[in-house]
Amino acid sequence: SQQGEEDPQALSIQEGENATMNCSYKTSINNLQWYRQNSGRGLVHLILIRSNEREKHSGRLRVTLDTSKKSSSLLITASRAADTASYFCATDAYNRGSTLGRLYFGRGTQLTVWP
């Protein structure tokens, strides 16, 4: 299975602290994405990092990718109560010569940020 696995399963921190979530996957990828899901809602795309990139930033988000270790991390700096959500990594599985893109999701990290 190409499915990513997030670690830890749950993370509880105080507002203002940084939150770090990790993702490991099994096979080669073209890109890796992070999504956020508020309770009972759909997923929202946060950031995409390509296999030839090592680090990417978007606002308070910082994503790293280590293809040699098949792992990625998502750092949320200066967390807020509104960051409370589940965070999922998703890897792709592009076939050679095909534009098909299917994503494989991990089980997610449940982040709770206390005021």
Interaction site with other proteins (CB under 8 A): 3-4, 30-31, 33, 35, 40-45, 48, 88, 90, 92, 94, 99-108
- Closer to other proteins at the Cβ: 52 or 99? 99
- Closer to other proteins at the Cβ: 82 or 100? 100
- Closer to other proteins at the Cβ: 96 or 115? 96
Return the closest-CA partner of residue 7 out of 79, 106, 103.
106
Q: How far is the CB of 16 from other proteins (least distance, A)?
A: 29
